Amino acid sequence: MRSGDPDFSFETSRIENGKLIAETSDGREFKIRYGDKANTIETRTTSAGNTYTVGYNGDALPDFTPYAVKDALGNPIS
């Protein structure tokens, strides 16, 4: 598989020890680091006192949409 393959995809699943793994469209398997964060929401406060809340989807990927740069209408710029 070459970098930038337009048909690349992955699926996640839990294995017997509860860990989250991803199986790619080219047959590779990867253990998802921090897979225990799947379907959770975390709030953290920085040393400067700023508080951020980040949700994680079922694949344990973070959703930073609330902090994305937005256009004049408030829509995230992609």
Model confidence pTM above 0.85: no
Q: What is the pLDDT along the chain (78 residues), one digit of tens a residue?
A: 456 677 888 898 887 787 899 999 888 998 988 888 989 999 999 999 999 999 999 889 899 888 888 888 888 787
CA–CA separation, 21 vs 28, rounded Å?
Answer: 10
The CA-CA-CA angle for residues 70, 35, 13, to 5°, reads 105
The pLDDT value recorded for residue 57 is 92
CA atoms within 13 A of residue 12's CA, in its CB half-sphere: 16
Distance CA(18)–CA(75), nearest Å, equals 37
Domain boundaries, the chain: 10-66
Residue 31 pairs in a beta bridge with 21
